[in-house]
Structure 1
Amino acid sequence: MPIFLFFFLNIALVTSSHLEPGFYLNTCPEAESIVRDVMKKALNQEPRSLASVMRFQFHDCFVNGCDASMLLDDTPNMLGEKLALSNINSLRSYEVIDDVKEALEKVCPGVVSCADIIIMASRDAVALTGGPDWEVRLGRLDSLIASQEDSNDIMPSPRSNATSLINLFHKYNLSVKDLVALSGSHSLGQGRCFSIMFRLYNQSGTGLPDPEINQIYREQLNKVCPHEVDQNVTVDLDATPLIFDNQYFKDLVAGRGFLNSDQTLYTFPETRELVRLYSRDQDEFFNAFVEGMLKMGDLQSDQPGEVRRNCRVSNACPANNLLFGFE
């Protein structure tokens, strides 16, 4: 009974939050520096983890707002988003967020939401790998539930073309400029052979490779991703996968985009000129990327929320004490 009472108390007391810079200055003044310190450690331990954490903002905010729903583990009564089609075998490094949350709970227990941790950690992943730094707006709440179904229905496929991506972003009041700039998040990290096999061997059901792929690049990909390959083998998304820069756009211009959803930005007339601009001018890309990240970070649900003590479970769940050994 106490568990259920606590659950309904959270719903009654929590409302949609107002986002602002410096939200934790009074309640947890060290919050942003703690997040950055943990992200620096993650960079030293496994540089690739920062690319994964940066993408958490995308996979969280597009599915019912920036509410950390993607961090919730499955329960007997709920299928979480970690096994959604766009997340399974793709998203990783959840333990970095666990480490951030644990560090924050030691200093400011019950204060900093997991949703805000995702926003801060994504920003830090960019800044620590050579990209822009910016002031984030904070004050989000954590969702009480997740929806694998919504994640499956919303998140785009690597096969997506520019038209479908533009339409998706438009639903969230994000512009074509936002789409192209935010796609530059693929400046960091790797993708799986699974995501490119059809481009290499059967584009649009033709039994032939995608003619937009640079021939030398395609030959390189054929060696890494042959027909019989374990499709979880990974390939760099651009030529500088550990550095956040505009190389991604230079690669698109050269026909070296890894994902179909990337290369389509250069082959599609409405997005081509922005790709060219960002390939020439890194500052323009950085400025547009920050603008897009801030706009995406403002996406919020009107559903009740809480500040989770453990990012993997809601406070109402009896398992919420397992991660940090709380009594």
Structure 2
Amino acid sequence: MLSRFKLDPFLLLLIATLGFATLLPARGEAAIWFDRLTDAGIILLFFLHGAKLSRSAVIAGLGAWQLHLMVLATTFILFPLIGIGITSALGSWLNPAIVGGFLFLCIVPSTVQSSIAMTAMAHGNVPAAVCSASLSNVLGIVLTPVLAAFLLNGGSADSSFFLDALIKIGSTLLLPFLAGHLMRPLLGGFVDRHKMLVGRTDRSVILLVVYTAFSAAVVEGLWSRFALSDLVVILLLDGFLLGTVLIFTCMLARLTHQKHEDEAVLVFCGSKKSLASGVPIAGALFPPAQVGLMVLPLMLFHQMQLIVCAALAQAYARRFAASEETERETVNA
């Protein structure tokens, strides 16, 4: 029972990074160098994301276009609508910093690695999961800044915010991603053979961004504006958000008569939010002192979704095995 709820080691590293940033934040000239190093790390991260994207796997899963539309609608329409509803209903009782971070959580793209892993564990349609998750991340490079321009600027698109975000996202995320994908014929073999190295690079860049962001936030007085009760509120909001989306995707799959394999894709790709993409996007969109507050709800949601979806994937696997056994008994009879 306890092993099922074992904490992700990466979460422990994130917590350690937060503690280090609180005790020894980067200041002055060091902060400037960390900002530059962070930008370089984000560029490398998205270059590798582009090089990892397998065109053949995406093409193999493109046939399930209706499924992909439902996943994208869940990620970029349902999540933001729930976020708007919750923050509108509770806005007067919530710390404004929580509101911004919670809305940002709702507009980031889906995960890639864990969505595919959970779908595979549940005996789902893995090629479709690869296609849905990859498409979500590619579109998220553009859609997340667009949604941020509307949702995080008083409900109206601030043209200067949007233009600045588009320029920075284009130069820091989109161009490196496209360059990496175009170079996949040259680098694809290396990337595929060294998945562990690439994964460690991903996580190292995220830790760097988190340290830089929280250093700036601590210097600006983060913990004087943020109480322990705020963390409890974030956990409750994240739990409600995840539960609502999981119920919705399960119901939508049943209403649209999805096969078991495709239902798993909708549930596990549609319910997740990407820490690997969300943290760098926040770093590109917001000032360093604001990034820490923006990504905190996403960091907590990330661990929560891993725990809950791992248990749910096991339930799907058991249901699939039971269905297979029933079919075999029917054939034998």
Q: Shorter-chain TM-score: which interval? A: under 0.3
Which structure is higher in RCO with an 8 Å CA cutoff and minimum separation 6? 2
TM-score normalised to the size of structure 1?
0.22
* Larger helix proportion of the pair: 2
